[in-house]
Amino acid sequence: MMEKKLLGVIIVLLITITSLIATSNTYEKEIILVNEFKLLPITYDEAPVFYGEENTGRTDCYFVYIKNNTKIEKTLLPKYKTSILENATKPILKKYSIKPIPKNKIYDFFFIHQETTRYEIVV
- Give 9-57 pLDDT, tens digit per residue: 888 888 877 766 655 556 778 899 999 999 999 988 788 899 999 998 8
**Confidence check: pLDDT of 82 > 70:** yes
Instruction: Compute the C-alpha angle 35/41/44, nearest 5°.
Output: 165
Phi/psi zone of residue 59: left (φ > 0), alpha (ψ -120 to 50 degrees), beta?
A: beta
**Confidence check: pLDDT of 102 > 90:** no
The domain locations on the chain are 26-122
Q: What is the pLDDT of residue 80?
A: 94
> Does the model's pTM come out above 0.85?
no
Rounded to 10 degrees, what is the CA torsion of 15, 17, 23, 27? -130
Query: Is residue 92 within 8 Å of residue 39, measured between CB atoms?
Result: yes
Q: What is the pLDDT of residue 81?
A: 95
Q: What is the pLDDT of residue 63?
A: 95
Average pLDDT, the chain: 84
Handedness of CA 82, 83, 86, 89 (dihedral sign): negative
Q: What is the pLDDT of residue 93?
A: 95
SS3 call for 9: helix
Q: What percent of the chain has pLDDT over 70?
A: 84
Cα 79 to Cα 61: distance, rounded to the nearest angstrom? 5
Per-position b or e across 74-88, b if 16+ CB within 10 A of its CB: ebebeeebbeeeeee
Q: What is the pLDDT of residue 97?
A: 94
Q: How far is CA 79 from CA 2, 14, 18, 69, 102, in A?
A: 52, 36, 31, 25, 27
The residue among 52, 48, 50 whose CA lies nearest residue 60 is 52
